[in-house]
Amino acid sequence: MNYVTTKDNSKLYYKDWGAGRPVILLHGWPLSSDSWDDQAMAIAAAGYRTIAYDRRGFGRSSQPWTGYDYDTLADDLAAVIEHTGAQDAVLVGFSMGGGEVARYMSRHGGKNVSRAVLVSSVVPYMLKTEDNPEGVDQSVFDEMAAAMKADRAKFFHGFFKDFFGVSVLARSVSEQTLEWAWGTAMQASLKATLESAKSFATTDFRPDLAAFQVPTLVIHGADDKIVPIDAGGRPAARAIGNATLIEYDAAPHRRQVTNKDQLTRDLLDFIRR
């Protein structure tokens, strides 16, 4: 298997499919790079090199005790880009992964990146504050952390129903898909799961947005119950100078499954421009 070694000697598992201009896919919490497989296959088949890796603490990567802050996670992304020799790359960040894209753009100056995509992203700021009234109350994140500490397996059983929009979609995902997501989430370390949730809940990416000096696509579902569109997609698109926003009506958070074909088309259209 392919691994990248980070600055703190963590091992990050990655897939490297196809050939051509690189497209780097960053997964969401609490899944792994496998969650991108449908889009990764389509992008590779369309003539692009598709790179997807498991975030530290998740999937097949190392499970270190530290390093779940976004500065370290952005450095991990930089290590992947350097190790794979990716140039003129398109970064695609889903949910928590959007924060890694944003912090990489500011912390590493967008090196070797020509385009960026934020899908259901936690950017620009998830937490509700006086100057961010559309955010999510801190109490929600506190309750999530308490539930995971008490019974992580039970928590994720309920969480994925909102994640996939089971409560809002007339056509839901299969029970097997929910089981797969639950199993993937349970492979992550509890430490990584808790610390990563804290990071995406409390990190303010608004200062990072000026670093987006490349064409950027923002995709968000209007019925996203995990990252509300008014806390994520809409303000991100307004703040990024060269951004295009695509809103999916009646769409939940995890659109790689619920809007699979549409998302794949929109990604390829943007990559090909």
Residues sharing a CB contact under 8 Å with residue 231, sequence separation 6 or more, in sequence order: 125, 126, 132, 134, 135, 136
Q: Are 232 and 224 in contact (CB under 8 A)?
A: yes
Q: What angle do CA 205, 208, 213 make, to 5 degrees?
A: 140
- Helix (H) / strand (E) element for 158: namely helix 138-163
Token digits of residue 95: 């949910």
CA gap 27, 159 in Å, rounded: 17
Q: Are strands 113-119 and 216-221 parallel, antiparallel or unpaired?
A: parallel
CA 136 to chain centre: 18
**C-alpha to C-alpha distance for 266 and 217, rounded to whole angstroms:** 9
Check if 253 is active-site: yes
Selecting among 10, 95, 120, 121, the annotated active-site residue is 95
Do 76 and 11 contact (CB within 8 A), yes or no? Answer: no
- C-alpha 14/C-alpha 54 separation (Å) is 6
Residue that has been written with the tokens 């056509």 in this structure? 171
Q: Distance between CA atoms of 178 and 31, rounded to whole angstroms?
A: 12
Is 63 in contact with 191 (CB distance < 8 Å)?
A: yes
- The residues annotated with a catalytic role in the active site are 95, 224, 253
